[in-house]
Structure 1
Amino acid sequence: MALAIQAVTFAQQYAYSWLHPAPKKTDQPLKLGVLSSAQINAAAVIHPTETHPDVILYAIASRDSATAKSQAHKYGFLKSYGSYDDLLEDPAIDMVYISAPNGLHFEWASKALDAGKHVLLEKPFTSNAMEAKKLVEKAEKSGKILMEAFHWQFHPAAHCFRQILNSGKYGKIIQTHAIMTSTPEIPGGDVRWQYDLAGGSLMDMTYVLSFTRYALKADLPLEVISAKARPAKHDPRVDAAMDAKLLFKTIEGYDVHSTIYTDMDRAWKMGVIPRFWELPSIEVETEQAKIYFYNAMMPHVYHYISITDKETGRTTYEKHYSGGPQWLETGEAYWSTYRYQLEAFVDKVRGRQPAHWVTNRESILQMETIDEVYRKSGLPLRPTSVMAVSA
């Protein structure tokens, strides 16, 4: 259940910030600016920055100056700004993290690049694929680093999951199924329900497509076979839930059928029991086994990778909180997905080779896939910003 696991990771990261004191910072650490006062900020970038020796919490901006000051005082930012523009005009800031509503991603990432800042941009990358392509073009021209914050991909558990699939030990992949839901529902006033701000379950829970494409190392699907949306009660353009079937071709050249399911208002079990156990996960069926990555979104809180042999029915389990095929000796067992992500982002900004990276091409392909699912479902694409249209 998405809301529950997010609440747990917020509490966990707060605790770790006390248990693991801030390290001594380098002589010239990167200065981080945060655009928005979103709830996700603490777990996603603030606490990870506290334990990174080469980044400091420099400035935070909100559309309300009092809120910005309050957040700066609470978390130890050196400065606060009552507008996003004011923060971007600060020449001292090296990089920004943007967690504004989906529909504002293009505008503020574009302005940040224009201001000469490196950008860590929350998922989904943009409102649609057209915006994604234009934003990437701007990043390439600016020479600045732009990355979509698919934090889960940076965790050792994700790398070990892919290593299992890549090993060939269990034969070819036949099909996949990914799910992400919320019970109780996402609150009614949340921006994720607003069409004009690029809301919808497929947008907010785009992890299911990320899980799937990551597992398959796939680009665009050959076909979106079907897509059925359950419209939100207040606005039929917004998908409260999305159930889709896609056909991919792997780089090895064989077809894989995949299903995805997202739901921001998941029905309770038997109408009375919230589905607390239903965490964002993916199952991959191969010729010889079923491989299940439970809680792929927040594996630092809790996860397991189960491997069930189809012939014997025997199931084995794996858990990975540090090390792994990409991080090797880098990282600590207490690091969150976000902390690993920040490590990679700083490495990239500093000109080092990161252990993992979400390329801009991947982000464009992700948005193109989302667009295709919306088209197949009969719902309109999320609206393009005026700034993107004129760009």
Structure 2
Amino acid sequence: MAGLLSFIHRNWQNAVGAPKATKAKDAIKIGVLGAANIAPMALFTPARYHPEVIIYAVAARDRKKAEAYAKQHAIPHVFSTYEELLASPLIEAVYVPLPNGLHLEWALKALKAGKHVLLEKPSVSNAAEAALLFNHPLVTAPNAPVLLEAFHYRFHPAWMAFVAQLDRPNVVHARASLTIPGKHMGFGPDDIRFNYALAGGALLDLTYTMSIVRGIYGASPTACTSCEVATMPSPPGDGLCDYKYDAAWTFPNGGTAETHGNLQAGLVEALKDFANAEAVHRPVVVPDAALPEGQEKVRTRRVALYNFIGPAMWHRIDVEDRFVVRKKGSEELVREWTVKESKKAYTLRDVGIDRPSEPYWWTYKYMLDEFVNRVRGREGTGAWIEHEDSVEQAKTIDMAYAVSRLPLRQTTKFDTASL
């Protein structure tokens, strides 16, 4: 009963019950490029109770759409074009939730305008674009604006607690899944997620799974050994956009991984395999002074995280250790047993970090905090997506496309002469 009440209270606070913050005089004014559906959850809600963030303006290609969007979300200013928004001296940072194929162009233009950039994942369309963006002088120059790819799950205490249970050098297999019931959410063939010209495809849209297995190993894969895909047959994807994938990987320590994503999952699959991560370790000898001479204890660990994408709603971390006592130098068993434990981490205090946080904070709020800390030049929790990490993530996605029957996503064509 206590768990149910905690679940209800957390989610009620996140939706409507959290106190709206009094905004600081020097709060960061953020402009939003595009009237994206993800922005209310990813930015507007966490900004509501962040004292140093104001959602100041929005721009869209259709001004009437931007005006309706601004009215719906109480955004005080509307610009007719993205360029006008970027030219505003009052706007300090920009959120870019545009279609994938537009990320490179508008992230660079925002950086050129001196704006800090919170860039929706995937950061860009392919590895070549990632190398261009994250190694660009606009990013690498001293005192360059902050640029962050929005892998929000990495900032939540649940992910920190999961990683703390891993012995990365001894991980031998990882799995990550993300399944979305797109058929029930209006993700039809004409959805931008399946538009090849805009860098559509499940490997990009559900890029979390590749990020997860990379995070489990603390390394990038050496190869994608297979990638089976199912594609949307109708335009605008023209059969080039995957809605489902199953990919297999190898890692530098010899370990393997599987990633599964489905943007058109049925309700049963979406519930069963929604956003799960698992790491299996090789057997390792662990010290035990109580054992008699000639015996040794061996542990084989499995760690699983359920709901990495929205852990504030609910999550669980399962740690299962199988212990074996055997005679040294042989496989002769003396005894064996299994210890199972479940953990949860909703606040930073739950993972030993003495910083303010609340159980109802979603991943996006933790990410927004760290983005603001970087903009203000303050020390944070240490959670961050480094630029090289984003480049490696793009390389990983390209690996999968290279062994599938689909082409890499196209490189954006725009005039870079003025950048």
TM-score (norm 2): 0.83
The alignment partner of 1:71 has SS state of helix
Partners in 2 of 1:330 and 1:217 — Cα distance? 27
Task: Determine which of 375, 382, 386 is the counterpart of 1:359.
Answer: 386
The alignment partner of 1:310 has SS state of strand
Aligned to 1:98: 96
Higher gyration radius (CA): 2
Partners in 2 of 1:174 and 1:86 — Cα distance? 51
Question: Which stretch shifts more, 232-241 or 311-320?
Answer: 311-320
- The answer to whether structure 1 residue 315 and structure 2 residue 318 are counterparts is no
The alpha-carbon distance between structure 1 residues 334 and 22, as it changes in their structure 2 partners (threshold 3 A), is same
How many Å apart are 1:82 and its aligned residue?
Answer: 2.4
The alpha-carbon distance between structure 1 residues 267 and 23, as it changes in their structure 2 partners (threshold 3 A), is closer
- The answer to whether structure 1 residue 370 and structure 2 residue 370 are counterparts is no
The alpha-carbon distance between structure 1 residues 13 and 108, as it changes in their structure 2 partners (threshold 3 A), is farther
Confirm or deny: 8 A CA contact 2:14 2:362 kept in the other structure: no
How many Å apart are 1:215 and its aligned residue?
Answer: 1.4
Q: Which runs of 4+ in 1 moved over 4 A?
A: 12-15, 388-391
Aligned to 2:260: 261
Task: Determine which of 243, 247, 251 is the counterpart of 1:244.
Answer: 247
The alpha-carbon distance between structure 1 residues 90 and 372, as it changes in their structure 2 partners (threshold 3 A), is same
How many Å apart are 1:149 and its aligned residue?
Answer: 0.2
Partner amino acid for 1:261?
H
How many Å apart are 1:13 and its aligned residue?
Answer: 7.4
Confirm or deny: 8 A CA contact 2:102 2:198 kept in the other structure: yes
How many Å apart are 1:67 and its aligned residue?
Answer: 2.0
The alpha-carbon distance between structure 1 residues 93 and 13, as it changes in their structure 2 partners (threshold 3 A), is farther
Alignment deviations for residues 316-369 of structure 1 (CA, whole Å, 9 cap, x no partner): 211111024474332111111000000000000000122111011100000011
Paired residues in the alignment total 369
Aligned to 1:298: 310
The alpha-carbon distance between structure 1 residues 115 and 231, as it changes in their structure 2 partners (threshold 3 A), is same
Partner amino acid for 2:56?
Y
Partners in 1 of 2:105 and 2:352 — Cα distance? 34
Task: Determine which of 286, 297, 303 is the counterpart of 2:281.
Answer: 286
Partners in 1 of 2:233 and 2:74 — Cα distance? 41
Confirm or deny: 8 A CA contact 2:228 2:404 kept in the other structure: yes
Partners in 2 of 1:388 and 1:242 — Cα distance? 34
Task: Determine which of 13, 30, 33 is the counterpart of 2:31.
Answer: 33
Aligned to 2:118: 120
Question: Which stretch shifts more, 203-212 or 66-75?
Answer: 66-75
The alignment partner of 2:122 has SS state of coil
Partners in 2 of 1:366 and 1:358 — Cα distance? 10
Aligned to 1:226: 226
The correspondence of residues 40-51 of structure 1 with structure 2, limited to 5 A, is: 40-51=38-49
Please, which runs of 5 or more residues in structure 1 have no aligned partner? Answer: 1-11
The correspondence of residues 47-66 of structure 1 with structure 2, limited to 5 A, is: 47-66=45-64
The alignment partner of 1:147 has SS state of strand
Alignment deviations for residues 84-116 of structure 1 (CA, whole Å, 9 cap, x no partner): 111111111000111001111011111101111
The alignment partner of 1:258 has SS state of strand
Question: Which stretch shifts more, 315-324 or 109-118?
Answer: 315-324
How many Å apart are 1:389 and its aligned residue?
Answer: 7.7
How many Å apart are 1:83 and its aligned residue?
Answer: 1.8
Alignment deviations for residues 242-292 of structure 1 (CA, whole Å, 9 cap, x no partner): 11111112xxxx321111111222356xxxx56423211111111312211
The alignment partner of 1:73 has SS state of helix
Partners in 2 of 1:379 and 1:327 — Cα distance? 44
Question: Which stretch shifts more, 29-38 or 274-283?
Answer: 274-283
Aligned to 2:139: 139
Confirm or deny: 8 A CA contact 2:189 2:232 kept in the other structure: no
Partners in 2 of 1:247 and 1:388 — Cα distance? 38
Partner amino acid for 2:17?
L
The alpha-carbon distance between structure 1 residues 348 and 315, as it changes in their structure 2 partners (threshold 3 A), is same
Confirm or deny: 8 A CA contact 1:175 1:285 kept in the other structure: yes
Partners in 2 of 1:343 and 1:256 — Cα distance? 34
Confirm or deny: 8 A CA contact 2:244 2:263 kept in the other structure: yes
How many Å apart are 1:376 and its aligned residue?
Answer: 1.1
Partner amino acid for 1:158?
W
Partners in 1 of 2:82 and 2:322 — Cα distance? 54
Partners in 1 of 2:154 and 2:371 — Cα distance? 13
Alignment deviations for residues 150-186 of structure 1 (CA, whole Å, 9 cap, x no partner): 00000000001111114x8xx8211001111223433
The correspondence of residues 65-84 of structure 1 with structure 2, limited to 5 A, is: 65-84=63-82
Aligned to 1:335: 361
Aligned to 1:22: 20
Partners in 2 of 1:326 and 1:255 — Cα distance? 32
The alpha-carbon distance between structure 1 residues 100 and 327, as it changes in their structure 2 partners (threshold 3 A), is farther
TM-score (norm 1): 0.89
Partners in 2 of 1:67 and 1:267 — Cα distance? 32
Partner amino acid for 1:379?
L
Confirm or deny: 8 A CA contact 1:156 1:327 kept in the other structure: no
Partners in 1 of 2:239 and 2:189 — Cα distance? 14
The alignment partner of 2:23 has SS state of coil
Aligned to 1:153: 154
Confirm or deny: 8 A CA contact 2:246 2:259 kept in the other structure: yes
Partner amino acid for 2:320?
T
The alignment partner of 2:364 has SS state of helix
The alignment partner of 2:166 has SS state of helix
Partner amino acid for 1:373?
A
Alignment deviations for residues 4-28 of structure 1 (CA, whole Å, 9 cap, x no partner): xxxxxxxx87863531222222121
